[in-house]
Amino acid sequence: MLSKDEILRQFAIFEGHVKRYDEQFRKANRLPKNHEWRPYRWCSRDIVFSLMVVRHERFRNCLEVDVCLMANPPQYFENSGARVAMGFLLSEAYKCGTSMEIVFTKNVESRMEGDVKKGRVPAYIYDLSCEMGIKLKHVLEGHITPFEARQMYMELVGFSKQVQEKVMKMSVEGLITPERVCFLVMGGIWTVPEAEAIILGSKNPESILLSSAVPEDRHLYLRDIFNARGAILGGALDRKLLKKELLKDGQIVESEDEETTLSISFDGDVYAKLYKPQESLLVPWVDQKDLLLKSGELVVVLVRARSSSEIIETFARDLESLSKTVEKYKSIDPLVKVFYLLPRDFEELPEQDREKMKQKVGSLEALIMMSPESVDGLVKEAARRIETGRMVRHE
């Protein structure tokens, strides 16, 4: 822990940076360049997690940090301040085009060695690296190497081990860098479950994540749109399950701050989402309005982002996949609940066809789940995200 005097000293340095920023940029009505000092404050309402001042040090091609103050509020999880700080520092390092090395100046948790003033990697960040099982070799020298930074980035994002291995394999093959995949998630273009669905469920995930196909390359672009719309449909279900509904003044309202405790994973072999809630919740988008999931119950959802014509054309194949999925997961958990997720284009089918499909799916001890999302909406969203990814730094 830093002493009170050390904290106050870093506050004074931060305040000096803020004043210079106001004079040079705000009052001059101009934006700073990456190589100029920029102060940041990361908060949630009235809680401050971190104060930082950073710049791209062009000669060494690293991200230089002059102030790095963090707090771990007791109402949040352990090392929350360090997670917020490192998430920003790593994303900023990637955005600025650096080698991913992070260097802390002599102002950060400074100490005297002989007559020389030196900084170090902040203690909270070192604690976080220990929690992640990542060894930082240059703590007292005040820098994190590119290799260490990439390891921390992957852990911070929260990818499963299977996805981490796939990303590293793609990196070794020269298809995509791990830090770009992490930045797309940290930047909010894809959620972790959506990115995992793309990485594990697509034959060419790097094409989507690099936004390499353009509309002029029609076949490649439509392939990427098709794969992306499946991930987005699964993401819509994720958000619906994660939203917690509370009873307030006799009415059901959605909580903005609380989410359902829910583990989400992905089976790339059958393109299915796996859920395991840690509390009871209602199953959305099914005919049985009172169908309840119990805590610890395994749920498998076969995701198929099909248009009405595609549903008819591929139903026999989907039914076969559904049968294999039910058989596979019944052997793991006899009480598993299995669903077949379709967009609302399913409603466009004749009622007689819909009923026949429901009966066939029901005969496999599964249920059809119909999302309010349409394929047209999924395609537009997929195109938007791919276009947004095109503006992100390319190696």
What mean pLDDT is reported for the chain?
A: 93
Q: What is the pLDDT of residues 82-92, one digit of tens each?
A: 999 999 999 99
Q: Is the pLDDT of residue 254 over 80?
A: no
pTM as predicted: 0.92
Q: Is the pLDDT of residue 352 over 60?
A: yes
Q: What is the pLDDT of residue 38?
A: 97
Residues of the chain with pLDDT > 90, as a percent, come to 85
340: number of CA atoms within 13 Å, CB side?
28
Do the Cβ atoms of 91 and 37 come closer than 8 Å? Answer: no
Q: What is the pLDDT of residues 51-79, one digit of tens each?
A: 999 999 999 999 999 999 999 988 888 89
Helix ranges restricted to H, 133-177: 146-157, 161-172
> If pLDDT is split at 50, 70 and 90, which confidence band does 255 have?
low
When pLDDT is averaged across residues 331-347 and rounded to a whole number, the result is 96
Q: How far apart are the C-alpha atoms of 135 and 165, rounded to whole Å?
A: 19
Q: What is the pLDDT of residue 244?
A: 78
> If pLDDT is split at 50, 70 and 90, which confidence band does 202 have?
very high
Q: What is the pLDDT of residue 41?
A: 96
Do the Cβ atoms of 85 and 68 come closer than 8 Å? Answer: yes
Q: What is the pLDDT of residue 194?
A: 98
Question: Residue ranges per domain, the chain?
Answer: 4-157, 216-379
Q: How far apart are the C-alpha atoms of 149 and 128, rounded to whole Å?
A: 12
End-to-end CA, the chain = 38
> If pLDDT is split at 50, 70 and 90, which confidence band does 4 have?
confident
DSSP string, 29-85: T-PPPTTS-EEEEEEETTEEEEEEEEEEETTTTEEEEEEEEE---TTS-TTHHHHHH
Q: What is the pLDDT of residues 150-162, one digit of tens each?
A: 999 999 999 999 9
When pLDDT is averaged across residues 350-355 and rounded to a whole number, the result is 96
> If pLDDT is split at 50, 70 and 90, which confidence band does 187 have?
very high
Among residues 341, 342, 346, the alpha carbon closest in space to that of 308 is found at 346
Q: What is the pLDDT of residues 101-135, one digit of tens each?
A: 999 999 998 877 777 888 899 999 999 999 999 99
Q: Is the pLDDT of residue 2 over 60?
A: yes
Q: What is the pLDDT of residues 206-241, one digit of tens each?
A: 999 999 999 999 999 999 999 999 999 999 999 999
Q: How far apart are the C-alpha atoms of 368 and 298, rounded to whole Å?
A: 17
> If pLDDT is split at 50, 70 and 90, which confidence band does 267 have?
very high
Do the Cβ atoms of 126 and 70 come closer than 8 Å? Answer: no
> Amino acid letter at 139?
V
Q: Is the pLDDT of residue 296 over 60?
A: yes
Helix ranges restricted to H, the chain: 4-21, 80-95, 123-132, 146-157, 161-172, 178-186, 192-201, 205-210, 218-242, 308-332, 351-363, 375-390
> If pLDDT is split at 50, 70 and 90, which confidence band does 253 have?
low
Do the Cβ atoms of 80 and 73 come closer than 8 Å? Answer: yes
Do the Cβ atoms of 314 and 304 come closer than 8 Å? Answer: yes
Q: How far apart are the C-alpha atoms of 386 and 13, rounded to whole Å?
A: 41
Compute the C-alpha angle 306/265/330, nearest 5°.
85
